[in-house]
Amino acid sequence: MDSFSSTDKLERELKQAQQFGRWLSDEERLALEEEQAQASRVIEQQQHRRKRLVILTGVCILLPPLWGFAAALSFYLLFPDSAKRLAVIAGSALIFVSILSVILMGLLITIAANILF
């Protein structure tokens, strides 16, 4: 069993050497393996998050008061990049409108105070 794993490791290193056109140093090989492990962890986390969101969407569909939330989750699951851009635009617009309404309310209160006093 041990000779099989060392043979497998040598074959894997040979394939890497053929791919890169040279033998990798130990540090380069470890960095490459760490990068591949990190990429697989990220993919696994994304799949887990997506599974949880699908379940949450299913629960929201079953409860009529949460249908709007279910629609938003469905949009996010179908179009994640577009949904993120839309959320940034909507958030920016909300902040802008909030600041504008505070300024407008301040002006109205100032005008009302000048009229009354």
Contacts of 29 (CB under 8 A, 6+ apart): 13, 16
What was the pLDDT predicted at 24?
A: 65
| H runs (alpha helix) in 21-79 | 26-62, 67-78
Tell me the residue range of the domain where 85 lies: 80-117
Alpha-carbon distance of 82 to 76, in angstroms, equals 8
Q: Is residue 73 part of a domain?
A: no
Answer yes or no: are the C-beta atoms of 16 and 24 closer than 8 Å.
yes
Q: What is the pLDDT along the chain (117 residues), one digit of tens a residue?
A: 466 677 887 787 777 777 776 776 778 778 888 888 999 999 999 899 889 888 988 888 888 888 888 888 888 888 989 999 999 999 999 999 999 999 999 999 999 999 988
**Is 103 inside any structural domain?**
yes
Q: How many domains is the chain partitioned into structurally?
A: 1
Does residue 110 form part of some domain?
Answer: yes
Q: Are 65 and 71 in contact (CB under 8 A)?
A: no
Examine residue 35 and state whether it is found in any structural domain, yes or no. Answer: no
pTM summary value = 0.52
2 within domain boundaries = no
For the chain, how big is the Rg over CA atoms in Å? Answer: 28
In a domain, 84, yes or no: yes
